């Protein structure tokens, strides 16, 4: 596992993109969070459990997904370094969750539970704005995804994802990406082959993750 100090320093660096955190406020923020190592394929939470934590990813890569009655998985969100992930409905209500959240790589995360989240926002009100901005960004990403699902072809959805989140294509299994895009792995493979034949840019050349959450 990363050293806790390194993890908290990275969190502060990312938070400071949206709000300023003073040297006095940083230790208090750190005191409310718990470092955790997730081995590859380990679950942070599973469907039917209460999602007691929001997780900030300092290293690694996670996804959330649901499983339908036919046993097919549907990926809802990816989370790489610098992103938060949780089953927000369950976290905020205390009800049983709808999603599995799984580490696709060995991952270091910082966890904050609901009481600590409330304490953080009450004690340092600027964090209310920070989390509001995260929710706004997530809403925008989700709305764009809905519009894409009803107005774009499968190939257009893939190309849009590649433009928005280039490095994820190099880190995620084709079956997980296909389920996120709402297609079969075979359909995604055909799309990639067509793009390659047209001389399109291979996904493997991408090397930078967007700051936007793949939600």
Domain containing residue 42: 4-126
Q: Are residue 179 and residue 94 in the same domain, yes or no? A: no
Q: Report if residue 132 sits inside a domain.
A: no
Cα dihedral: 204, 37, 181, 149 (round 10): -130
47 burial level (CB within 10 Å; 0-12, 13-18, 19+) = middle
Q: Are residue 108 and residue 183 in the same domain, yes or no? A: no
- Cβ–Cβ under 8 Å, residues 108 and 58: yes
Cα dihedral: 2, 90, 129, 168 (round 10): 50
Q: Are residue 119 and residue 163 in the same domain, yes or no? A: no
Q: Are residue 110 and residue 32 in the same domain, yes or no? A: yes
- 146 token code pair: 């809905």
- Cβ–Cβ under 8 Å, residues 32 and 79: no
Boundary (domain end) residue, out of 69, 103, 126: 126
Q: Report if residue 31 sits inside a domain.
A: yes
Cβ neighbours of 186 (radius 10 Å): 11
Q: Are residue 104 and residue 173 in the same domain, yes or no? A: no
* Alpha carbons 17 and 19: distance in angstroms, whole number: 6
Q: Report if residue 44 sits inside a domain.
A: yes
Q: Are residue 56 and residue 149 in the same domain, yes or no? A: no
Q: Report if residue 47 sits inside a domain.
A: yes
pLDDT the model gives residue 198: 86
Q: Are residue 101 and residue 161 in the same domain, yes or no? A: no
- 109 token code pair: 């995360």
pLDDT the model gives residue 203: 46
- 32 token code pair: 């409310």
Sheet with strand 34-38: strands edge to edge: 34-38, 107-113, 53-59, 84-85
pLDDT the model gives residue 215: 52
What is the torsional sign of CA 122, 126, 132, 137? negative
Boundary (domain end) residue, out of 58, 93, 126: 126
Measure Cα distances from 144 to 138, 149, 157, 178 in Å: 10, 9, 10, 17
What is the number of domains present in the chain? 2
Boundary (domain end) residue, out of 126, 151, 173: 126
- 140 token code pair: 């925008």
Q: Are residue 61 and residue 158 in the same domain, yes or no? A: no
Q: Are residue 36 and residue 104 in the same domain, yes or no? A: yes
Q: Are residue 122 and residue 156 in the same domain, yes or no? A: no
Q: Report if residue 198 sits inside a domain.
A: yes
Q: Are residue 153 and residue 110 in the same domain, yes or no? A: no
The CATH number given to whatever domain includes residue 69 is 2.60.120.10
Q: 10-residue block means of pLDDT along the chain (215 residues)?
A: 91 96 94 97 97 98 96 95 96 96 98 98 97 94 91 95 88 95 95 86 41 44
Q: Are residue 12 and residue 89 in the same domain, yes or no? A: yes
């Amino acid at each position: 596992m990363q050293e806790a100090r390194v993890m908290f320093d990275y969190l502060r660096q990312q938070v400071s993109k949206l709000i300023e955190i003073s040297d006095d406020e940083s230790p208090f923020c750190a005191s409310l969070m718990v470092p955790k190592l997730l081995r590859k394929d380990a679950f942070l939470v599973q469907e039917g459990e209460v999602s007691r934590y929001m997780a900030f990813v300092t290293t690694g890569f996670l996804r959330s997904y649901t499983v339908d009655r036919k046993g097919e998985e549907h990926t809802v969100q990816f989370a790489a370094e610098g992103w938060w992930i949780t089953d927000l409905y369950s976290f905020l209500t205390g009800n049983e969750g709808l999603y599995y959240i799984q580490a696709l790589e060995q991952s270091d995360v910082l966890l904050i539970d609901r009481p600590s989240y409330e304490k953080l926002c009450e004690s340092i009100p600027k964090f209310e704005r920070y989390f509001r901005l995260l929710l706004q960004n997530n809403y925008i990403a989700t709305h764009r995804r809905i519009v894409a699902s009803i107005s774009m072809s499968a190939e257009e959805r893939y190309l849009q994802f590649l433009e928005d989140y280039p490095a994820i294509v190099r880190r995620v299994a084709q079956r997980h990406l296909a389920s996120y895009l709402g297609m079969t792995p075979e359909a995604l493979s055909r799309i990639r082959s067509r793009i390659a034949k047209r001389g399109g840019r291979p996904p493997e050349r991408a090397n930078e993750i967007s700051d936007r959450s793949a939600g």
